[in-house]
Structures are given as structure tokens and as C-alpha cells.
């Protein structure tokens, strides 16, 4: 019995011929850096062609004048290298980056994150896929650690139960797939819909979209991009929000499809 937790490269299931390389994915480059000044209450997401032709750039304050500054770029939508774009942005000090003053990098992070929705089967005879190998991360907000840990535990439990019964074929392991899909399938689908709406918007289209986003409360926006709202909450926002444009935005993720 094997659990493939090899992340983006999906080493085991690829070697067994069950999957091929993720076709759609995000590439992210990020510096943890010391800066001269930063407002610790403000998180920046920067959109538009200059920041990322298919994605966004970010500045997240961590406290003590430390920030994470990064760029995420969707593949295959754009060929731009996020590391190069990040270096350029830090050099040109575009937009809110200028406010940080001198930036002294401490650590560099680079990674790839699957963005193919629920394209993979995650149980086979004697094999379970977890974490990025299974495509469980939310690529819109680059969040996958808690899912990898949580569903890794479920995979361990289902595997040990199966081993005890002496049956580790696909059908015995299926409760694992059922468990994680029940919890995050709708979130992954919602994130995909939001992303389809946003990826590749021109600067003019972004200006219009930001006019809508401005109508959201901070918590509503965070719920929206994390696809973290419960269905009832989402329907409430989609039907009762005082602003029509916001109702339209939430209607996007409310549908079943």
C-alpha cells in the first residue's frame, strides 16, 4: 500500500503511468524580505498586465517590517517567468512596492501549484494520492498545506483500516476520495470559476472588475477568493447583497456547475 504525497511532481503515480504532468498550473516566486516601512494592517494584491499577465502579485506583512512579496503566473496562459517579473517589479518599485522603501531579501521561495481542478482520480488499487499530488490545493489563494495535512491523515486512516482487512483495492480505498471531495470539491470548483473570470483580464477589464470588488466588505472579499463561504452564506450574498454587481459576482460561484 502506497500513499503518494510527492506534491506537484506526483512522482509515484506518474511513474506508475496513472497520470501525466499537470497541464494547467501556477508558478510562484516570492521573497521574504526586510523593508524600511510597511503598514502591518494592509495586505496588497496587485493585478494588471504589469504585475502579472495571468495572476497577481502580492505584499503580505508578517510583522517586524518583514513582508512576503511575490508574483504568481498562470501556465500555460502566460510564458512570463515569475522570478524575473518579481525582480523587475522590485527594481522598478511599481505601485505599492515603492512605499516599502529599501527591500532586503532574506529568503527566496519558488514553487508550482496544480490548477487542473478535479481532473485526477485519487485512489487506485494499493495507491492513494494526497496533497498537491491529488490536486487538493486552492490555486487562487495558493493554499494547500492544511489540506495536505488533513487529508494525509484521512489517507493514513483509510489505508490502515484497509490493510487490516487485507483488502487494499480501489473500492476499499474509495472512502478517502469521498471524504476529501465532500469537504473541498465545491471550493475547488468555485475557485476555478472565479479564476476563469479573472485570468487574462486586460487592464481596462480589471478596472471595471475592481469597481465591483470595491463594493465588497473585506470579509466578503476574503470569503470570495478563498471560496470559503458555506453554500447558504453564498446564496444569501448572491440574492440579498444590497449591491446588484456584488449579487452578480456571487451568483458566479453559487451555481452547481
Ligand X SMILES: Cc1cc2nc3c(=O)[nH]c(=O)nc-3n(C[C@H](O)[C@H](O)[C@H](O)COP(=O)(O)OP(=O)(O)OC[C@H]3O[C@@H](n4cnc5c(N)ncnc54)[C@H](O)[C@@H]3O)c2cc1C
Interacting residue ranges for ligand X, rule: CB under 6 A: 5-9, 11, 28, 30, 109, 111-113, 131-133, 137, 142-146, 148
Which helix H or strand E contains 234, and what residues bound it? helix 231-240
What's the closest the beta carbon of residue 188 comes to ligand X, in angstroms?
12
Work out how close the CB of 149 gets to ligand X at its nearest, in angstroms, rounded to a whole number.
Answer: 8
- CA angle centred on 75, ends 144 and 17, rounded to 5°: 70
Ramachandran class of 243: left when φ > 0, alpha when ψ lies in -120 to 50, beta otherwise: beta
The residues facing 104 across adjacent strands are: 34
CB nearer to ligand X: give 38 or 113: 113
Residue 186 CB, nearest approach to ligand X (Å):
18
Instruction: Give the residue with the Cβ less far from ligand X, 70 or 246.
Output: 70
For residue 216, what is the DSSP state? S
Nearer to ligand X, 31 or 250 (CB): 31
Rg (CA), the chain: 20
166 φ/ψ angles, rounded to the nearest 5 degrees:
80, 10
Measured from the CB atom, the residue of 71 and 100 that comes closer to ligand X is 71
Nearer to ligand X, 111 or 175 (CB): 111
Nearest 10 degrees: Cα torsion 224, 229, 231, 235: -50
Closest to ligand X by CB, 7 or 48? 7
Between the alpha carbon of residue 177 and those of residues 135, 154, 157, 174, 190, the distances in Å are 12, 9, 13, 5, 19
> What angle (nearest 5°) sits at the alpha carbon of residue 86, between those of residues 221 and 71?
25
Q: Give the cell for residue 177.
A: 476520495
Cell of 170: 480501489
CB distance 6 to 29 below 8 Å: no
| Least Cβ distance, residue 95 to ligand X (angstroms) | 20
Minimum CB distance to ligand X, residue 179 (Å)? 16
Three-class SS state of 246: helix
Least distance to ligand X from the beta carbon of 77, Å? 16
CB of 11 to ligand X, least distance (A): 4
Query: Which of 8/229 has CB closer to ligand X?
Result: 8
Amino acid at each position: 500500500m502506497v500513499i503518494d504525497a510527492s506534491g506537484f511532481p506526483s512522482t509515484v503515480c506518474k511513474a506508475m503511468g496513472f497520470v501525466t504532468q499537470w497541464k494547467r498550473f501556477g508558478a510562484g516566486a516570492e521573497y521574504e524580505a526586510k523593508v524600511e516601512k510597511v503598514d502591518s494592517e494592509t495586505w496588497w494584491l496587485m493585478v494588471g498586465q504589469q504585475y502579472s499577465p495571468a495572476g497577481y502579485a502580492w505584499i503580505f506583512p508578517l510583522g517586524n517590517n518583514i513582508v512576503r512579496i511575490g508574483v504568481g503566473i498562470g501556465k500555460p496562459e502566460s510564458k512570463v517567468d515569475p522570478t524575473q517579473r518579481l525582480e523587475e517589479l522590485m527594481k522598478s518599485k511599481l505601485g505599492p512596492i515603492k512605499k516599502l522603501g529599501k527591500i532586503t531579501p532574506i529568503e527566496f521561495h519558488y514553487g508550482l501549484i496544480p490548477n487542473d481542478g478535479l481532473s485526477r482520480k485519487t485512489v487506485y488499487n494499493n495507491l492513494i494520492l494526497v496533497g498537491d499530488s491529488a490536486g487538493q490545493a486552492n490555486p487562487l489563494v495558493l493554499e494547500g498545506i492544511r489540506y495536505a495535512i488533513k487529508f494525509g491523515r484521512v489517507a493514513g486512516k483509510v489505508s490502515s483500516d484497509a490493510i487490516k482487512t487485507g483488502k487494499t483495492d480501489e473500492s476499499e480505498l474509495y472512502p478517502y476520495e469521498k471524504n476529501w471531495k465532500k469537504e473541498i470539491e465545491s471550493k475547488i470548483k468555485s475557485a476555478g470559476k472565479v479564476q476563469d473570470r479573472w485570468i487574462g483580464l486586460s487592464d481596462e477589464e480589471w478596472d471595471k472588475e475592481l469597481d465591483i470588488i470595491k463594493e465588497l466588505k473585506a470579509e466578503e472579499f476574503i470569503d470570495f477568493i478563498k471560496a470559503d463561504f458555506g453554500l447558504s452564506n453564498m446564496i444569501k450574498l448572491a440574492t440579498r447583497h444590497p449591491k446588484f454587481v456584488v449579487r452578480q459576482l456571487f451568483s458566479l460561484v453559487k451555481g452547481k456547475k
